Copies of this chain bind each other. A is one copy, B any other.
């Protein structure tokens, strides 16, 4: 019952390769669907037969990067302190901030995104919650709330820090500094 897969897979691969080339040379923001299909040597309609819309392609490009960072985070031992936690999150933050468009896409499609359907980015954000929760269970932080809730909070503060990074009103301190402050207050309250 599985028909005509080779052709389909090849086309999809061509589209993705073309898109990746364009992103590499001109960045995400400047990517045009028309350019992608030209490079891939297919018609425009074909693109939309493979990707629901342009954002779906963006998700297909960005989500794997995030998964890659999570893979690396999973390798690490549980963090001993706030610093090691910040260090672990650094690659994610740097990537998300490296181009404004990237953060926009992540924002649009993360749980922090108004999407009913669960796409690649929502999935990877969800996975981040799990990875962090597992990790936090073994970390020397506050124990009055569940690791899942701790992870949720880290996610919230992560988005806040990233968002403020792009906001002219608030960019006196670096993302990492800001994140450090948030994490201290969240993970190690001194009441």
Interface residues of A (CB under 8 A from B): 100, 103-104, 107-108, 110-118, 122, 126, 142-145, 149, 152-153, 155-157, 159-160, 163-164, 166-170, 181-182, 185-186, 189-191
| Bound CA–CA A153/B118 (angstroms) | 26
| Bound CA–CA A191/B163 (angstroms) | 29
Residue of B nearest to A170 (CB): B111
Residue of B nearest to A97 (CB): B114
Identical chains in the assembly: 2
| Bound CA–CA A122/B169 (angstroms) | 8
Q: A156-B159, A159-B159, A191-B142 are in contact. Are A168 and B117 (CB under 8 A)?
A: yes
Q: A157-B156, A191-B189 are in contact. Are A118 and B163 (CB under 8 A)?
A: no
In the assembled complex, how far is the CB of residue A170 from the closest CB belonging to chain B, in whole angstroms?
6
